[in-house]
Copies of this chain bind each other. A is one copy, B any other.
Amino acid sequence: MQRYFINQPANISDNVLLPDNVAHHLVKVMRAQVGTRAEFVTNDQHVFIGEIFSIDGSKTFVKMVEPLKTQSELPVNVIIACGVPKGEKASLITQKATELGVSKIIFFDAQWSVSRWKSEKRDKKLDKLRKIASGAAEQSHRNVIPKIDYCDSLVDVARIDVSKKIVAWEESAKHGEHSALSQVFHDLSNGDTLLAIIGPEGGLSEEEIDLLKKQQVVTAGLGPRILRTETAPLYLLAAISYYFELENY
């Protein structure tokens, strides 16, 4: 069943006027009619099956007929901070990380980022990524749309106040480090927030790694193979999901 975020509160039996973009997709793209059902997520993460009871021009009304108890959010919050990547990679990271349960993605200017987001184009880029996140959250049946943000300073990223902070570091794996990531997972409890920092294509500089270590960020390898910048966040999120949702649920 299609899922939509309606960005407003609702309760069982409520009649709800759908936001324009939701009504457009449901009625024009999916060709829904009176009687069609879909899943609607409220702004406080409740999910209802709703049934269309009236379509009047651009105004589509839905009655919430059944609450859904499904919970598809990771038990820990994961913030991924990515060095600004090249080309369309930010889109791929946003779509896939959303499917895999990320809470928030922050793109930051890294020392070796080949690509720079000029200030006049940044808002447009972020808007586009937020739309991708919203679509992917609906498609993967999440209860939350991840936040997408930008930060020009790695220092500010590293200072975010969270339970645990790691940085994916190739050199860590090269030196035979295996257990840092599983130790971090082990130390996290439900409701905690993990910040995971991942470099751009060129990686992070020694200087950046030193700066992060000073902010109590733990260096962790993601296995013995060299992962591309867009693959590393997906590895991390899949590993977290496996650990918290399948192995120790």
Question: Contact: A245 with B224, CB < 8 Å?
Answer: yes
Q: Does A28 have its Cβ within 8 Å of any Cβ on chain B? A: no
**Interface 0/1 of A211-232, CB less than 8 Å to B:** 0000000000111111110010
The oligomer's copy count stands at: 2
Residues of B close to A141: CB separation below 8 A: 225-226
Set of chain B residues within 8 Å of A225, measured between Cβ atoms: 72, 99-101, 140-142, 241
Q: Is the CB of A246 within 8 A of B179?
A: yes
Q: List 15 A-B contacts (CB under 8 A).
A: A96-B234, A99-B225, A139-B228, A140-B228, A178-B246, A179-B247, A181-B246, A223-B246, A225-B241, A234-B238, A235-B238, A235-B241, A238-B238, A239-B242, A242-B243
The answer to the question of A115 belonging to the interface, with a C-beta cut-off of 8 Å to chain B, is no
Which B residues are in CB contact (< 8 Å) with A72? 224-225
Residue A58, interface by CB 8 Å = no
Chain B residue contacts of A100, Cβ below 8 A: 225, 227, 231, 235
Which residues of the partner chain B approach A7 to less than 8 Å between Cβ atoms? none
Task: Say which residue of B71, B182, B228, B239 sits within 8 Å of A238 (CB atoms).
Answer: B239
